[in-house]
Amino acid sequence: MKKTGMMWGLCVAMGLSAISFAGERFSSSVSLDATARRFSGNLGTARNGSDSLSYMWCASTGSGVGWCHARDAAGVTLSCATTDAGMLATIRSLNSDSRIEVLYDSAGMCTFIYVATGSHFETKGP
């Protein structure tokens, strides 16, 4: 009986914690760090921002070249290029509501590209 009560309590606690995260949303504007050679942000937040300068995008070609670019509200831009098959696949997995994080080296070559897509990221408005 004592174990059953503990199990019910655990189930209720788990259910309440799930409810507290329902509909969670994250906004993340374009963030640039030239010293650390990185940029990141949510594509939806960049699109929906109140400034007219911020953007983020990545593109790839069928010949195996890809690029990622970002510009913040101050007009500062950072970008990198890649021919790495894994990073190209990551670029191709982007959609308009994704979050991206990019690291690059001193030669302007991308060294890491991270893409996440989920219901908790701000979606792109009109």
Place 97 in a pLDDT band, splitting at 50, 70 and 90: confident
Sketch the domain layout of the chain as residue ranges.
25-116
Q: Mind listing the pLDDT tens digit for each residue in 25-66? A: 556 779 999 999 999 999 888 888 788 899 999 999 999 999
Residue 13 has pLDDT above 70, yes or no: no
Using alpha carbons, select from 43, 55, 56 the residue that is nearest to residue 96: 43
Q: How much is the pTM?
A: 0.74
Which tops the pLDDT comparison, 96 or 37?
37
Using alpha carbons, select from 62, 118, 53 the residue that is nearest to residue 91: 62
Q: Could you please report the per-residue DSSP string of 74-115? A: T--EEEEEE--HHHHHHHHT--TT-EEEEEE-TTSBEEEEEE
Q: Mind listing the pLDDT tens digit for each residue in 76-85? A: 999 999 999 9
